[in-house]
């Protein structure tokens, strides 16, 4: 097998698309013959698969793995159903053709059940925070410490936030025209950001489950970025270009980031009518550069473009 070097920055995943593991065109999607715009995909054996379909889904995955082609720019993950399913997947021939696993319902009680199996493997790991423990600050601090101290810490690509599962625990669903940040989950996200991000963890943005609320989706993605969340999963291919377009970097932000990283810049300076301070904006600047490397800079529209858009 030819080993293909990959860049495993959390920004490299783009907008991952969840798809059931028994999807008939799974191998075509994995190889880019279908949905070639996909940067990453997550084959789900959990919520997207009924109990009666688990066995057939695992058989289907096993067959598809044989035909997965190496690709340096497509990332393929499997969302396992439980630790027992992870064990079965790890035993499959050609499982090395995937990049890692999404671990559902993750808390301190299942760390060893999952991580003991993943010791001495190269797989990247994305635990999902979606249980009642998420509402408990003490439980999340305990989980952070357990993950930080574990030998597999460096293989944790990001923590995924299960927004819909958390809403379900509260017995609510987001109204169509409101972002997740206008619901009780907004407070929970703030809490998770302050608990995990200062300690070296990246966090994903939860899915947006409506396909006909484009304006609200765009508002939510902007808020995701404001909260420091990345890798917003898509529920449909039509969401991917919307998400990734907003991940592009503003010209002014890029200019300021370059200046902040310039060793010859003063400690504090004014640029684009904003105060820039190297000591306090350095991490932001590094993140802006990573975004720009993966998504580019937003195109500046000419006056003619604006006129044309206004008449559409």
* Residue 303 pLDDT class (50, 70, 90 cuts): very low
Domain count, the chain: 2
Same domain, 242 and 261: no
Same domain, 217 and 94: yes
Domain contains 1? no
Domain contains 46? yes
Q: What is the CATH number of the domain that holds 64?
A: 3.20.20.60
pTM of the entire structure? 0.91
Domain finish residue from 227, 246, 265: 246
Q: Which two tokens stand for residue 193?
A: 């950001």
Domain contains 231? yes
Domain finish residue from 198, 230, 246: 246
Same domain, 224 and 114: yes
Q: How many CA atoms lie within 13 A of 3 on its CB side?
A: 3
Same domain, 85 and 40: yes
Domain contains 196? yes
Same domain, 197 and 262: no
Same domain, 142 and 262: no
User: Looking at residue 275, what is its pLDDT?
Assistant: 97
Same domain, 188 and 272: no
Give the 3-state secondary structure of residue 77.
strand
Is the pLDDT reported for residue 227 higher than 60?
yes
* Residue 310 pLDDT class (50, 70, 90 cuts): very low
Same domain, 242 and 257: no
Pairing of strands 100-103, 75-79: parallel
Is the pLDDT reported for residue 109 higher than 90?
yes
Domain contains 48? yes
| Burial class of residue 297 (count of CB atoms within 10 Å of its CB; 0-12, 13-18, 19+) | middle
* Residue 47 pLDDT class (50, 70, 90 cuts): confident
Is the pLDDT reported for residue 125 higher than 90?
yes
3-class secondary structure per residue, 137-169:
HHHHHHHHHHHHHCCCHHHECCEEECHHHHHHH
DSSP label at 7? Answer: -
Domain that holds residue 302: 251-310
Same domain, 177 and 29: yes
Same domain, 127 and 161: yes
- What average pLDDT does the segment 167-172 reach? 97
More confident of the two residues 311 and 70: 70
Query: Per-residue pLDDT tens for 176-220?
Result: 999 999 999 999 999 999 999 999 999 999 999 999 999 999 999
Is the pLDDT reported for residue 34 higher than 50?
yes
User: Looking at residue 299, what is its pLDDT?
Assistant: 83
Is the pLDDT reported for residue 81 higher than 80?
yes
Domain contains 5? no
Same domain, 37 and 125: yes
Tell me the CA distances in angstroms from 121 to 80, 90, 94, 96, one per residue in order: 16, 10, 13, 9
User: Looking at residue 301, what is its pLDDT?
Assistant: 52
User: Looking at residue 73, what is its pLDDT?
Assistant: 86
Query: Per-residue pLDDT tens for 2-30?
Result: 445 678 899 999 999 999 999 999 999 99
Domain contains 2? no
Domain finish residue from 246, 263, 287: 246
Same domain, 152 and 270: no
Domain contains 4? no
């Amino acid at each position: 097998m030819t080993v293909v070097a990959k860049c495993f920055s959390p920004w490299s995943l783009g907008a991952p698309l969840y798809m059931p593991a028994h999807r008939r065109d799974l191998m075509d999607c994995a190889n880019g013959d279908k949905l070639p715009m996909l940067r990453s995909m997550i084959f789900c054996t959990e919520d997207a698969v009924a109990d009666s379909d688990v066995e057939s889904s695992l058989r289907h995955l096993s067959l598809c793995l044989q035909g997965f082609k190496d690709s340096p720019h497509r990332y393929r993950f499997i969302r396992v159903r439980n630790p027992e399913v992870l064990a079965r997947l790890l035993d499959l021939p050609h499982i090395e053709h995937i990049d890692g696993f999404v671990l559902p319902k993750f808390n301190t009680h299942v760390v060893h059940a999952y991580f003991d199996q993943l010791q001495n493997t190269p797989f990247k790991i994305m635990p999902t925070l979606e249980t009642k423990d998420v509402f408990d600050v003490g439980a999340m601090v305990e989980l952070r410490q357990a993950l930080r101290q574990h030998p597999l810490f460096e293989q944790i690509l990001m923590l995924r936030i299960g927004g819909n599962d958390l809403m379900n625990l509260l017995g609510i669903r987001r109204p169509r025209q409101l972002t997740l940040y206008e619901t009780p989950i907004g407070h929970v996200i703030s809490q998770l950001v302050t608990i995990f991000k200062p300690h070296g963890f990246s966090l994903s943005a939860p899915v947006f489950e409506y396909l006909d609320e484009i304006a609200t989706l765009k508002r939510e993605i902007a808020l995701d970025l404001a909260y420091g969340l990345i890798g917003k999963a898509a529920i449909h291919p039509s969401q991917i270009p919307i998400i990734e377009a907003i991940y592009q970097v503003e010209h002014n932000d890029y200019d300021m980031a370059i200046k902040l990283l310039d060793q010859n810049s003063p400690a504090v300076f004014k640029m684009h009518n904003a105060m820039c301070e190297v000591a306090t904006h350095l991490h932001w600047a590094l993140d802006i550069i990573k975004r720009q490397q993966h998504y580019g800079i937003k195109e500046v529209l000419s006056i003619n473009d604006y006129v044309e858009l206004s008449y559409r």
